[in-house]
């Protein structure tokens, strides 16, 4: 069984679709502006429901889809991480066909590094591989923390996480991957024998760079990530959620500039200094809003009038809207209208 899993990954890496795929090249030519939506789908049923909405989403202006699958997939490369109700390879290929028919680019996502638990529930990765926990044996029932993190310095991490990334990108015929990495509050923990005492920014940057080496340099895919840990929460005024107050912000100068930064801010603000910060460092920026229609409208406006490396707008959903309501959801309609009016 282990041999079959390794063989699958090698075939996926060799035969999987990447930037050389003609459809992907043509998509990029047709769409200099990326109007995207982020949706979490972790079951086969959920994917089919979203698939039924693709024509209407395309009509509303959506040309990009960040599909957060996490471990809701029937993995063959790492079967211990497979979800029995998760998306299958055939489901993914059928969904990919429908996306291409509707001219929508798929960017699969696994929430990496942080967000490895939610409330009392620890996620699949750390349940199956507790040795990868950044705080092993600490915080029973996850009391006293926001979310668990994995250890980016663990020597076995790559052999676990890279195969599932490869499998998802192959199954969805994707030319890009989103690694998440938002809201990482546990990093360089005193409880980790490998990370204790290290600079949080360097530990965070190492994780980003490890992903970049695999996703961009090896697989020739485009890499996306959330940008909050790269911003100084006090200097920007964003605080500890939309930006960092736990020492990771200087990682912004330690990572490759071809990563697309999804710069999320969900509230109505007088200014969004992160746009200047990321562009000034040489990154392409994808401003990302949520459920407040007026805030989404304002952030999209601030992005649409820029002449720099702001690539479009991404609307996140975070379970705030049903699948059938996505195409006409007010935050999406308002944000996209700013870009269509250009």
Dihedral sign for Cα atoms in the order 243, 267, 116, 67? negative
Give the pLDDT of residue 307: 79
Contact of 37 with 288, CB cutoff 8 Å: no
Sort 250 into a burial class: Cβ within 10 Å, 0-12 / 13-18 / 19+.
middle
pTM as predicted: 0.94
DSSP character string of 18-69: -TT-HHHHHHHHH-SSEEEEEEE--SHHHHHHHHHTHHHHHHHT--EEEEE-
Give the pLDDT of residue 35: 98
Per-residue pLDDT of 218-272, as tens digits, reads: 999 999 999 999 999 999 999 999 999 999 999 999 999 999 999 999 999 999 9
pLDDT at residue 16 tops 80: no
Give the pLDDT of residue 21: 74
Question: For the domain that residue 218 is a member of, what is the CATH number?
Answer: 3.20.20.80
Give me the mean pLDDT over the 327-340 stretch: 97
Give the integer Cα–Cα distance in Å for 44 and 248: 36
Give me the mean pLDDT over the 189-208 stretch: 98
Which residue range(s) make up the domain with 17?
A: 2-340
Query: What confidence tier does 19 reach under pLDDT thresholds 50, 70, 90?
Result: very low
Per-residue pLDDT of 273-308, as tens digits, reads: 999 999 999 999 999 999 999 999 999 999 999 978
Q: What angle do CA 14, 20, 24 make, to 5 degrees?
A: 120
pLDDT at residue 101 tops 50: yes
3-state secondary structure of 133: strand
Give the pLDDT of residue 227: 98
Query: What confidence tier does 213 reach under pLDDT thresholds 50, 70, 90?
Result: very high
Q: Which long-range contacts (CB under 8 A, 24 or more apart) does 169-172 make?
A: 169/12, 169/16, 169/17, 169/108, 169/219, 169/221, 170/12, 170/13, 170/15, 170/16, 170/17, 171/73, 171/87, 171/89, 171/92, 171/93, 171/96, 172/67, 172/92, 172/93, 172/95, 172/96, 172/106, 172/108
Per-residue pLDDT of 67-97, as tens digits, reads: 999 999 999 999 999 999 999 999 999 999 9
Helix axes 157-171, 2-15, angle to 10 degrees: 50
Return the structure tokens found at 133. Answer: 């926990």
Contact of 317 with 53, CB cutoff 8 Å: no
Q: What mean pLDDT, rounded, does the chain reach?
A: 94
* Selected residue with higher pLDDT from 41 and 17: 41
b/e burial code for range 76-111 (CB count within 10 A of at least 16 → b): bbbeebbbeebbebebbeebbebbbebebbbbbbbb
Task: Give alpha helix (H) positions in the chain.
Answer: 2-15, 22-30, 44-52, 54-60, 89-101, 124-128, 157-171, 200-212, 233-236, 239-242, 273-280, 293-304, 330-340
Quick one: residue 102, left, alpha or beta (phi over 0 = left, psi -120 to 50 = alpha)? alpha
Number of domains in the chain: 1
Give the pLDDT of residue 5: 44
Contact of 107 with 178, CB cutoff 8 Å: yes
Give the pLDDT of residue 308: 82
The total of other beta-carbon atoms located within 10 Å of residue 257's CB is 13
């Amino acid at each position: 069984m282990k041999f079959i899993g390794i063989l699958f990954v090698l075939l996926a890496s060799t035969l999987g679709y990447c930037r050389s795929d003609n459809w992907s090249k043509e998509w990029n030519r047709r769409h200099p502006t990326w109007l995207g939506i982020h949706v979490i789908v972790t079951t086969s049923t959920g994917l089919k429901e979203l698939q039924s909405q693709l024509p209407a989403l395309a009509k509303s202006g959506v040309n990009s889809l960040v599909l957060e699958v996490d471990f809701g997939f029937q993995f063959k490369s790492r079967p211990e991480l497979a979800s029995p109700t998760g998306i299958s390879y055939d489901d993914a290929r059928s969904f990919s066909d429908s996306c291409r028919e509707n001219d929508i680019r798929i960017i699969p996502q696994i929430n990496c590094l942080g967000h490895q638990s939610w409330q009392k529930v620890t996620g699949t990765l750390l349940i199956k591989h507790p040795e990868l926990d950044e705080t092993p044996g600490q915080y029973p029932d996850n009391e006293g923390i926001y979310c668990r993190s994995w250890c980016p310095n663990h020597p076995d991490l790559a052999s676990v996480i890279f195969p599932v990334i490869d499998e998802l990108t192959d199954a969805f015929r994707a030319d890009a991957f989103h690694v998440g990495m938002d809201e990482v509050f546990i990093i360089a923990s005193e409880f980790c024998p490998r990370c204790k005492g290290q600079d949080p920014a360097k530990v965070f940057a190492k994780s980003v760079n490890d992903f970049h080496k695999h996703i961009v340099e090896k697989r020739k895919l485009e890499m996306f990530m959330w940008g909050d840990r790269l911003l100084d929460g006090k200097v920007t005024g964003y605080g500890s959620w939309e930006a960092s107050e736990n020492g990771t912000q200087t990682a912004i100068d330690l990572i490759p500039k071809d990563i697309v930064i999804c710069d999320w801010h969900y509230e109505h603000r007088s200014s969004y200094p992160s746009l200047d910060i990321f562009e000034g460092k040489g990154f392409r920026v994808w401003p990302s809003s949520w459920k407040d229609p007026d805030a989404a409208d304002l952030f999209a406006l601030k992005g649409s009038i820029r002449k720099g490396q702001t690539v479009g707008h991404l609307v996140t959903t975070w379970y705030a809207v049903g699948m059938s309501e996505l195409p006409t959801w007010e935050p999406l309609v308002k944000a996209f209208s700013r870009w269509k009016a250009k």
